Structure 1
Amino acid sequence: MKKLTSAAIAASLAISAFGLATVPGATAEEVKVPVMSQGERKSMDLPDTGQTRETVRQRYGDPVSTSGPVGDPPITQWHYPGFVVYFEYNRVIHTVVKPAR
């Protein structure tokens, strides 16, 4: 099965909607940006994987809001102005930078 990119899907929809002919050999380019290589991330001071809740609280203060725990194992989110910290039990499992607005 072929993997379709969003550009290929959009082109396919345009072809269907407007009756456009396909161009033989035309391809779409897929651009992937891994989460861990986000440009903003390198210049930010973020919690590291494995840190405890207490360590995060001491360094970054109280979160603006929290959600969870949800699931098994229990996952909790701590929301800060520029990022969200995900905890499994008492340890950081990931930190996600919020998109700039």
Structure 2
Amino acid sequence: MNTFKPVFTAIALAAVATAMAPAARAGDTLLMQRVQQEQAMNLPRKGMSMAEVERKFGAPTQKLDSRGGGSHKQPVINRWMYPGYIVYFEKSHVIHAVLNTPAGNNTNPQSPK
């Protein structure tokens, strides 16, 4: 049995992980800053109904096409755009509000990605 190959593979994986660590830390820092910024803002909270969101935050600038709804495991997701953020609803209740930032990959929510 050749024990050299598994040891060499483990060493190679450790080297790759070590080389990638600074990039991961920078990404983690950006994500933590974004989460802190979202928490400090007055955004729609999880569980709010569409009516509550519209009453408290006004009409959205745009209501995007809904997605999903093909099965019980894939409920309808509605998305409302506001200046600076997007509100995601599962059926008619908020599941998340996300800032429109280039780092958030949601600057073009019309894209089917």
Q: TM-score range by the shorter chain?
A: 0.5 to 0.7
1:51 maps onto 2:48 in alignment: yes
- Identical-residue share of aligned pairs (%): 29
- CA drift at 1:35: 6.8
Partner of 1:70: 67
In 1, Cα distance between the equivalents of 2:67 and 2:82? 19
Which of the two has greater helix per residue? Answer: 2
Number of corresponding residues: 80
Runs of at least 4 residues of structure 1 off by over 6 A?
none
Could you say if the C-alpha distance between residues 48 and 35 of structure 1 is closer, same or farther in structure 2, counting changes exceeding 3 Å? farther
RMSD of aligned C-alpha atoms? 3.0
Of the three residues 90, 93, 96, the one matched with 1:94 is 96
Q: Deviations over 1:9-41 (max 9, x none)?
A: xxxxxxxxxxxxxxxxx6222122547952321
1:65-101 alpha-carbon deviations (Å, 9 max, x no partner): 011221121111000001100011110011101117x
Q: Specify the alignment match of 1:27 in structure 2.
A: 19
**Secondary structure of 1:94's aligned partner:** strand
How does the TM-score come out when normalised to structure 2?
0.59
SS of residue paired to 1:54: helix
